[in-house]
Amino acid sequence: MTTLTEFQYDLTTENDLKAASHGLLRIQHIYDLNIRDLTNGYLNGKQYNSHLSYADLYVVALYLYRENLYAEAELWLKFCLENYNNRAYELEMFGYGKAEILNLYAKILRNQNKAEDAFIAMNEAIDLKPMDGRFLNTENTLRKLLRNQNFSHHQHSKDDDSSAYILACHGVFSRKPSKLHCLYNTITSPFLRLAPLKMELLNLDPYMVLYHDVLTDSEIIELKELAVEVGMVPSRTYNSTGGVPQYGDSNHRTSKVAWLKDDVNDITARLTERLADMTGLNVINSEPFQCANYGLGGEFKLHSDVIQHPNVLKKLGNRIVTALFYMNDVEQGGATVFPALGKSIFPNKGKALVWYNLDNEMKHDERAEHAGCPVLVGSKWGRSMDSIRDFI
């Protein structure tokens, strides 16, 4: 019993299922992946040594059905049924026989105003299990609905991701040639005259630069270890008008984070000084560092780092600049995108992206609204100072 109790913490939970299912939906939608390729581990023209089992497909479809995402559930379960004969053993070993799958499929169709198709699927299930009372009751209900033509139609959820965001996640903007250039920054602090930083100009208005080689491998390892030691917790976002924290059950941001004050140890203090060198700004009023990890399908939807609630603004001041440090390479996905500017920056270990959130009049610059695209392969580690504040 003691051993079982220890293992229970490693078992999949309902929250794990929710996160995995929504992650699969995100990468399927954003990167335009068909279910066959996703199931077989074939992503954007590259074959990976991993795949989804057909039991996984059924469980995802069942979860989507319970979440009232009927159109999405239909696609996943239809593929499962079409290939049932080839992979029946994967399903039956978990008790998911074809009759049970058809029963769920009929319910999904019924909730999309497809009662005739649902009736056909239900009859096929009854042929397999003619004495199952559950199936007979469902068939009787469908028969009455067809007779009366009186059944409700449930709309599936609509994704509000803009076409510009999707194009940016695909890297369309990153392939456009830039008229800007790279240089060594020697002017934002006296120290940089001795040790200049490699800087790539990405945009002039609003100002955006990408620094190269600003984190060493040893610093990255230490930061990750420190974040794990402090404790990674589900991300939270703030309501843009009420300033009310919304914790990790929101789909707006799907990651885990740890907050590190700039005086935790030598490395955080050193990186705070480095940020001051990079920006030339006083960082005394900066927020703590935020170490974030995004897993498969993890994203941060389109948002602004600007604080708009008057009471919060008066208390904390606004965010002038955001600096985002990339702590690992991401094989596919995970770009930081600015749809209004046509910019896509893909994570590369050791680089740091710096941009201004406020314009010259210290007002919200909507063009700086940005998003973190879903991670398609692997995970993404980032460290941000969100952000350098000034009291206005």
Q: What is the CA radius of gyration of the chain?
A: 25
Q: What is the pLDDT of residue 388?
A: 57
Q: Which residues, given as ranges, of the chain have pLDDT below 70?
A: 1-12, 148-161, 175-177, 179, 238-251, 386-392
For the segment 119-162, what is each residue's pLDDT rounded down to a tens digit?
898 888 888 888 877 777 777 777 777 776 654 544 444 455 67
As beta bridge partners, residue 259 has: 290
- What is the three-class DSSP state of 93? coil
Are the C-beta atoms of residues 26 and 159 closer than 8 Å to each other?
no
Report the distance separating Cα 5 and Cα 314, nearest Å.
Answer: 49
Q: What is the pLDDT of residue 131?
A: 81
Q: What is the pLDDT of residue 248?
A: 42
For the segment 241-290, what is each residue's pLDDT rounded down to a tens digit?
544 544 444 567 788 999 988 777 888 889 889 989 999 988 877 788 88
Q: What does the mean pLDDT of the chain come to?
A: 84
Domain 176-389 has CATH 3.40.50.620: no
- The residues spanned by each domain of the chain are 4-147, 176-389
Domain 4-147 has CATH 1.10.150.120: no
Q: How many residues does the chain have?
A: 392
